[in-house]
Amino acid sequence: METLNEMDDLCTSGFGTPQPRHGLQLLHWFANEYVKIVTNGEVEIERNPNKKAFGCQQFTDNTDTKYRLLPNRLLPFYMLGNLDAPGAEDLPDYVSKNHTEKNNVSNKDRIIFSLQPDKVLDRIYVTQ
């Protein structure tokens, strides 16, 4: 798994490109509308992911450690970005405008995040 620490890392990673992929638009929306930075520098979510708004779903990783996508954490993981999930129609048009509603690359990108009990983000992953 590649770690992206800076904006340049994201720009050169290929995440969300080429069109019609929606990953960069999804990440922009997530950073500007779904989370906020609080006074101590932590990042908190502004919405309850359990309400499944914007297509947010609980993410369950493979239990076989050989095939796990993410590190084993004792915190819940959530996933955003499936444009076919219930509630995803509430994402802004600029995120979903290139979605063809077919099983292709226009619905490939996801954001997976782990959440501490106090609504503080623990980890954020972008994946395809």
User: Which pTM was predicted?
Assistant: 0.83
Do residues 101 and 22 make contact, with C-beta atoms less than 8 angstroms apart? no
DSSP letter (8 states) at residue 16: T
User: Considering the chain, what is the average pLDDT of its residues?
Assistant: 84
Most confident listed range (11-15, 41-45, 89-93): 89-93
pLDDT at 79: 94
How many helices and strands, by DSSP H and E, does the chain display? Answer: 3, 6
65-108 pLDDT tens trace: 777 777 777 888 999 999 999 999 999 999 998 888 776 778 88
